Amino acid sequence: MTLPELWAELPEPFASALDRERPWLLLAAALDEALAALPSQRIAVALDPRVHLSGDRIEIGAGTRIAPGATIEGPVRIGRDCEIRPGAYLRGSVWLGDGCLVGTNVEVKRAIFLDRAKAPHLAYVGDSVLGRGVNLGAGTILSNFRHDGAEISIPAGEGALATGLRKLGALLGDEVATGCNSVLNPGTIVGARTRLYTGVQLRSGIWPADAIVKLRQELEIVSAR
Would you name the residues annotated as active-site residues? 121
- Euclidean distance between CA atoms 45 and 117, whole angstroms: 21
Q: Amino acid letter at 68?
A: P
Cβ proximity of 192 and 210 under 8 Å: yes
Count CA atoms closer than 13 A to 22's CA, side-chain side.
14
- Euclidean distance between CA atoms 146 and 135, whole angstroms: 25
Closest by CA to 202, choosing from 151, 106, 102, 128, is 128
Phi, psi of 23 (to 5 degrees): -65, -20
Cβ proximity of 171 and 185 under 8 Å: no
Count CA atoms closer than 13 A to 70's CA, side-chain side.
22
| H/E element, 109 | strand 107-113
| DSSP-assigned states of every residue in 25-72 | GGGTHHHHHHHHTS-SEEE-S---TTSEEESS-EEE-TT-EE-TT-EE
Point out which residues pair with 155 in neighbouring strands: 160
